[in-house]
Amino acid sequence: MTAQNPALVLTAYCANRAGIVAALSKAIFELGGDIVDLQQFDDAGTAQFFSRVVFRGASDPIAEDAARQALEPVMAQFGMKWSLSIQGARRRVLLMASRFDHCLADLLYRWRIGELAMDVRGIISNYPRETYADLSFEGVPFHFLPVTKETKPEQEAKLIEIIDSEQIDLVVLARYMQVLSSELSARLAGRCINIHHSFLPGFKGARPYHQAHERGVKLIGATAHYVTGDLDEGPIIEQDIERISHRDSPQELVRKGRDIERRVLARAVRSHLEDRVLLNGSKTIVFPE
Amino acid sequence: MTAQNPALVLTAYCANRAGIVAALSKAIFELGGDIVDLQQFDDAGTAQFFSRVVFRGASDPIAEDAARQALEPVMAQFGMKWSLSIQGARRRVLLMASRFDHCLADLLYRWRIGELAMDVRGIISNYPRETYADLSFEGVPFHFLPVTKETKPEQEAKLIEIIDSEQIDLVVLARYMQVLSSELSARLAGRCINIHHSFLPGFKGARPYHQAHERGVKLIGATAHYVTGDLDEGPIIEQDIERISHRDSPQELVRKGRDIERRVLARAVRSHLEDRVLLNGSKTIVFPE
Amino acid sequence: MTAQNPALVLTAYCANRAGIVAALSKAIFELGGDIVDLQQFDDAGTAQFFSRVVFRGASDPIAEDAARQALEPVMAQFGMKWSLSIQGARRRVLLMASRFDHCLADLLYRWRIGELAMDVRGIISNYPRETYADLSFEGVPFHFLPVTKETKPEQEAKLIEIIDSEQIDLVVLARYMQVLSSELSARLAGRCINIHHSFLPGFKGARPYHQAHERGVKLIGATAHYVTGDLDEGPIIEQDIERISHRDSPQELVRKGRDIERRVLARAVRSHLEDRVLLNGSKTIVFPE
Amino acid sequence: MTAQNPALVLTAYCANRAGIVAALSKAIFELGGDIVDLQQFDDAGTAQFFSRVVFRGASDPIAEDAARQALEPVMAQFGMKWSLSIQGARRRVLLMASRFDHCLADLLYRWRIGELAMDVRGIISNYPRETYADLSFEGVPFHFLPVTKETKPEQEAKLIEIIDSEQIDLVVLARYMQVLSSELSARLAGRCINIHHSFLPGFKGARPYHQAHERGVKLIGATAHYVTGDLDEGPIIEQDIERISHRDSPQELVRKGRDIERRVLARAVRSHLEDRVLLNGSKTIVFPE
């Protein structure tokens, strides 16, 4: 991307049929666009077509609005669900954490050095600010939203207020150890990423490292997924593992797990911010970076 | 190991207390032994001590019997469960397979080039010999033991007969797709290794690659474990994974899985044959090679 | 792919400019084709466009010749280098080995179970047939072509004769431990794959596992690359590694390396056979499977 | 470890001969010690014996001095080089960085949450404090020591002064992009760890990610090693890699590399701080954690 001639990112999906790529690429060409990257996936099971196209003006820059207008007819023709955005445009993100701050600290670091195209609009925790005494939030508003079973509706109402007023594009549960209500999960469908500290579907629920130690597995892992009403069942975006041994106590699994969690979550967030993740029912398509 | 002065491998475990290593190493030293390798593990949870010691004669070779006699008192003193064997001595092994032969072919290849210290005393399948028309069994007896729900007791009786008459040390279920009865599982406790084609505890039971595809995981794996009466719950010896993507159909997972399965099973069998695996309740200790 | 309506695989590259994808996909659409998979890569450094397109008839099958004729004009328009083939069509392959047969045995196994779309037209070695006494070649002609410094020109002449008469598409050096002359390397450019037993560019040349042991690295690896006149400098197709430790002797590195070598070579051969590898100067583009 | 009864860590090496473990474990037993962990390695090539023993008082705590006195005779008997320390005792560490702060930030984070047993006694850079404006140093003194070819002797003199006055145990070059003089390297032998951003011995020297991109490798890596006078040739402590593709520009390799570098360096520092690394000529023994 050059600042003068920014690229545009189109994601689109629809029922599959012949001629989609031809129609799409023709529209982009007639708009004066040069396709920089095109990735597609035909799901044989569901007969759906998914694609992500990056293009920019071959000679002159293309305005987002002009592109939108030019693409509208072809999108309508194929009944496509689609989105268009300027490559590298920063999304408005809310970070949520609880007692452990390794994922939060890592995301803030990556944001600061420009690795993640996001504007952090707020940090929310059910723990008070002093929990993160050593973390600089660099001017980002912090919201202490404690929660109990009884106060959850009320707490989530405050949360929704922040999400709405800040026009949040993405909520990241960076080891936020509270389960969202199914109403809130539904409202945030496809724009709320959680990190679970096991290689799902193994070790759902609480204390997965202790479960892993108990079972005697030789690998531990972490899973980043979109949040759905069904706990630990949301569409998986990214997973990774590390080798462990009988020598590792649960505490050592927790320590080793921190490294896995932070890199898995960061990769998932990055993929989402770059419009490389498309939902496909209860699964995801993640186009390679 | 040199043929002239072979090393001996001692594995031993007992309730932990002070002085075990001192007593053990003193006995070996007084026997004229030089410790080549010593690995130990104290399980803080169960307060058990586990060790594996490799030693050989410092000047003259040590006979297995002499070593056994010399070690007996110290073993008795600590109430140890122990085993002693000549390093590299070949174990009597039975390989069992069903329709797919990738694990079987791989184990036979490794055996042929001397990678695994075993004598393959028999190959058993519920499929006839022609299933493996292109595999050379190199003189190893093949037993076709078909099985149905009704004939299982009878089939397992034949199996036990072979195991007993051939004095089998280790049974390897190399993608043998039949569940052993709990009586047989109990009888083979700690000397029967199975390969399951998922990273347990995820995707137990049938068709794990199809389950994995359905769930949309980003990694698939395989697990080698000792067989117990509890299907897919036995002590895990080895696991490994590979990265997959949304592009992989269940058939492609099956293909990619073959590579994972064969290397995981081969590593587990090797670890077992080298006396590097100790049972610790429902878990294992695998001393590094 | 269905047998009745086979897919066609087009690979094409040229100097990059706007409109290539539009022109290409239009030509395929007008031919009655449905694009099943399209992958592209714009090399920003060399300003080249690379692509691989899989398509099949949307209703009726498309004959290879018809596709070739229909695509010719658009290929000419952009000055493209291109190839077209039926997906899954078997390539004519020559396997070459020396003393160690683990890569040879592995490729033959994968071929037999249908993992690799190839016809093995010959097996060549500078060792006699009895070296592989336990390997079934299943009717494939074996050629014993011993070689010394003095007889190399003569030996390579025989090799070329086989390559030509058998119309070989791909030569695989499956741990063939002889260096090809630069004439032969040039003649086989882009259709001869070698496996080197180190993670290049580390440990070029002879006895890489001994070099690795000497240097004390904590990972060992293998590299599959196209053969060029420059030994161990050809375009890399695939690499992988495994973790080792101070406990591993050179002999153990050799053993562990066998597993890495065979899977790296098999992946590279598979990628090549599926037309997923494109040469880009001294590098490769490997479109994901 | 319990605070009341801390464990002691002994590392020892000498020319190998029979009876070392027996003598060592006897001395510890007579001291009232219980061996918690014992790892050993016999280097067949150099005929050296290496070991690391963790022990604590079986009933009463053992004082470090008492242990030292009790062990002295057996150490002398075998001509051992040895060290003894209290497990978890914090070492005095100096962190050095240049323009990029990802390794520095990561080490500081791990230190803050108690993952690394160290006292950070100083942070040194050839860049001024404002380079790390967003990093909290939490009271650790920062020394800005700019350096040119001409001022290097003088700069290193200041560095040595800090090392000496602060009684530094370990210097960590956390992407400090200056080559130490061979005098300083020699002085810091075995107590200065550097992170090199390639999988050595591939891509020594400057701009390794650009070299890697140029060569077209499919994996990039990082290497943590002790600093010696021979640049990029010091004993390797830890290495790791990640898979890349033709899509990755040098800038993307730099980004992906940051994650590898920080985890490789952190593992190496942790291994060193836990006395799990022993030098073996130009190589290391790293006992597993």
What is the tens place of the pLDDT at every residue in B121-176? 999 999 999 999 989 998 999 999 999 999 999 999 999 999 999 999 999 999 99
Please indicate, yes or no, if residue D103 is contained in any of the structural domains.
Answer: yes
Q: Assess whether A125 and A18 both reside in one domain.
A: no
Residue B103 has pLDDT above 80, yes or no: yes
Which CATH number is B194's domain given?
A: 3.40.50.170
What integer is the mean pLDDT of D248-268?
Answer: 98
| C153-174 pLDDT per residue, tens | 999 999 999 999 999 999 999 9
Residues of chain C in contact with residue A21, where contact means CB-CB under 8 angstroms, are 21, 25, 35, 38
Residue type, B190: G
Q: Assess whether D120 and D245 both reside in one domain.
A: yes
Q: Assess whether C194 and C218 both reside in one domain.
A: yes
Residue D3 has pLDDT above 80, yes or no: no
Tokens linked to A225: 């997924």
**How much is the ipTM here?**
0.95
Catalytic residues of A: 232
Size of interface A-B (CB pairs under 8 A): 87
**3-state SS record for D178-192:** CCCCHHHHHHCCCCE
Q: What pLDDT, on the 0 to 100 scale, is given for residue B232?
A: 86
Pairing of strands A8-15, A48-57: antiparallel
Please indicate, yes or no, if residue C75 is contained in any of the structural domains.
Answer: yes
Q: Assess whether A174 and A254 both reside in one domain.
A: yes
Residue where the block lists tokens 């291994």 = D271
Which of A196, A219, A232, A289 is the best substitution to test chain B (most B C-beta atoms within 10 A)?
A219
Q: Are the Cβ atoms of D22 and B26 closer than 8 angstroms?
A: yes
Please indicate, yes or no, if residue C157 is contained in any of the structural domains.
Answer: yes
Would residue D232 show up in a list of annotated catalytic residues for this protein?
A: yes
Tell which residue, B81, B31, B84, B83, has the closest CA to residue B59.
B31
Please give the residue that has the higher pLDDT: either C230 or D35.
D35
Q: Which of these is catalytic: B60, B232, B240, B259?
A: B232
For C74-105, b/e burial (b = at least 16 CB within 10 A) is bbeebebebebeebebebebbbbbbebbbbbb
CA gyration radius for chain B? Answer: 21
Strand order in the sheet with B48-57: B81-86, B8-15, B48-57, B33-43, D33-43, D48-57, D8-15, D81-86
Q: Assess whether C117 and C257 both reside in one domain.
A: yes
Phi first, then psi: give them for residue D242, nearest 5 degrees.
Answer: -140, 150
Pairing of strands C142-144, C219-226: unpaired
Q: Are the Cβ atoms of A17 and C58 closer than 8 angstroms?
A: yes
CA gyration radius for chain D? Answer: 21
C238 confidence band (pLDDT: 50, 70, 90): very high
Per DSSP, helices labelled H in chain D are: 20-30, 64-77, 102-112, 152-165, 182-187, 208-215, 250-273
Shortest distance, CA B111 to any CA of chain C (angstroms)? 12
Residue C1 has pLDDT above 70, yes or no: no
Residues of chain D in contact with residue C285, where contact means CB-CB under 8 angstroms, are 246
Average pLDDT, chain C: 96
Q: Are the Cβ atoms of B38 and D34 closer than 8 angstroms?
A: no
C254 confidence band (pLDDT: 50, 70, 90): very high
Q: Assess whether B72 and B167 both reside in one domain.
A: no
Task: Return all residues near A216 (Cβ < 8 A) that are at least 6 apart.
Answer: A246, B235, B236, B280, B282, B283, B284
Contact between D253 and D221 under an 8 Å Cβ cutoff? The reply is no
Q: Which residue of A has its CA nearest to B246?
A: A285
What integer is the mean pLDDT of B89-103?
Answer: 98
| D200-222 pLDDT per residue, tens | 999 998 999 999 999 999 999 99
| A41-92 pLDDT per residue, tens | 999 889 999 999 999 999 999 999 999 999 999 999 999 999 999 999 999 9
Q: Assess whether D19 and D153 both reside in one domain.
A: no
Q: Assess whether A96 and A42 both reside in one domain.
A: no
Please indicate, yes or no, if residue B1 is contained in any of the structural domains.
Answer: no
Residue D4 has pLDDT above 90, yes or no: no
Count helices and strands in chain C by DSSP H and E runs: 7, 13
Please indicate, yes or no, if residue C1 is contained in any of the structural domains.
Answer: no
Per DSSP, helices labelled H in chain B are: 20-30, 64-78, 102-112, 152-165, 182-187, 208-215, 250-273
Residues of chain C in contact with residue A28, where contact means CB-CB under 8 angstroms, are 22
3-class DSSP state of D208:
helix
Q: What pLDDT, on the 0 to 100 scale, is given for residue A78?
A: 97
Average pLDDT, chain A: 96
Residue C2 has pLDDT above 90, yes or no: no
| B220-279 pLDDT per residue, tens | 999 999 999 988 899 999 999 999 999 999 999 999 999 999 999 999 999 999 999 999
Contact between B53 and B37 under an 8 Å Cβ cutoff? The reply is yes
Residues of chain D in contact with residue B60, where contact means CB-CB under 8 angstroms, are none
Please indicate, yes or no, if residue C3 is contained in any of the structural domains.
Answer: no
Contact between C236 and C284 under an 8 Å Cβ cutoff? The reply is yes
Q: Assess whether D72 and D119 both reside in one domain.
A: no
**Cα within 13 Å of Cα(D115), Cβ side:** 24
Residue D100 has pLDDT above 60, yes or no: yes
Q: What pLDDT, on the 0 to 100 scale, is given for residue C6?
A: 93
Q: What pLDDT, on the 0 to 100 scale, is given for residue A3?
A: 60
Q: Are the Cβ atoms of C112 and B134 closer than 8 angstroms?
A: yes
Residues of chain C in contact with residue B138, where contact means CB-CB under 8 angstroms, are 134
**Cα within 13 Å of Cα(A109), Cβ side:** 27
Q: Write down which residue in A51, A71, A86 finishes a domain.
A: A86
For C117-139, b/e burial (b = at least 16 CB within 10 A) is ebebbbbbbbbeeebbeebeeee
Q: Write down which residue in C65, C86, C107 finishes a domain.
A: C86
Q: What pLDDT, on the 0 to 100 scale, is given for residue D28?
A: 96
What integer is the mean pLDDT of D113-130?
Answer: 98
Q: Assess whether C188 and C265 both reside in one domain.
A: yes
Phi first, then psi: give them for residue C283, nearest 5 degrees.
Answer: -125, 175
3-class DSSP state of A12:
strand
Distance CA(C9)–CA(C24), nearest Å, equals 13
Tokens linked to C191: 């259709």
Instruction: List subunits contacting chain D, requiring 3 or more Cβ pairs under 8 Å.
Output: A, B, C
Q: Are the Cβ atoms of B29 and D19 closer than 8 angstroms?
A: yes
Q: Structurally, how many domains does chain B consist of?
A: 2
Q: Are the Cβ atoms of D216 and C247 closer than 8 angstroms?
A: no
Tell which residue, C161, C169, C177, has the closest CA to residue C118.
C169
Q: Assess whether A121 and A248 both reside in one domain.
A: yes
Q: Are the Cβ atoms of D134 and A138 closer than 8 angstroms?
A: yes
pTM, two decimal places: 0.97
Domain membership of residue B235 as a residue range: 91-286
Residue B1 has pLDDT above 90, yes or no: no
What integer is the mean pLDDT of C27-44?
Answer: 95
Instruction: List subunits contacting chain C, requiring 3 or more Cβ pairs under 8 Å.
Output: A, B, D
Q: What pLDDT, on the 0 to 100 scale, is given for residue C232?
A: 86
Q: Which of these is catalytic: D101, D106, D169, D232?
A: D232
> Of all residues in chain C, what percent are helix, strand and coil, respectively (each to 5)?
30, 30, 40
Residue A212 has pLDDT above 90, yes or no: yes
Q: How far is CA C28 from CA A12, A31, C12, C21, C79, in A?
A: 21, 21, 14, 10, 18
Please indicate, yes or no, if residue A1 is contained in any of the structural domains.
Answer: no
Q: What pLDDT, on the 0 to 100 scale, is given for residue C3?
A: 60
Residue C51 has pLDDT above 50, yes or no: yes
Average pLDDT, chain D: 96
Q: Write down which residue in D86, D112, D145 finishes a domain.
A: D86
Contact between B40 and B21 under an 8 Å Cβ cutoff? The reply is yes
Size of interface C-D (CB pairs under 8 A): 86
Instruction: List subunits contacting chain A, requiring 3 or more Cβ pairs under 8 Å.
Output: B, C, D
Phi first, then psi: give them for residue D203, nearest 5 degrees.
Answer: 60, 55
Which CATH number is A76's domain given?
A: 3.30.70.260
Identify the sign of the CA torsion A114, A120, A126, A128.
positive
Residue A1 has pLDDT above 50, yes or no: no
Residues of chain C in contact with residue B105, where contact means CB-CB under 8 angstroms, are 109
Residue type, C283: K
Please indicate, yes or no, if residue B3 is contained in any of the structural domains.
Answer: no
Nearest-by-Cβ selection for B255 from C115, C263, C288? C115
Residue B2 has pLDDT above 70, yes or no: no
Contact between A82 and A9 under an 8 Å Cβ cutoff? The reply is no
Identify the sign of the CA torsion B131, B132, B134, B138.
negative
Nearest-by-Cβ selection for A25 from C17, C25, C32? C25
Q: Assess whether D82 and D95 both reside in one domain.
A: no
Task: Return all residues near A67 (Cβ < 8 A) that are at least 6 apart.
Answer: A8, A10, A31, A33, A84
Q: What pLDDT, on the 0 to 100 scale, is given for residue A232?
A: 86
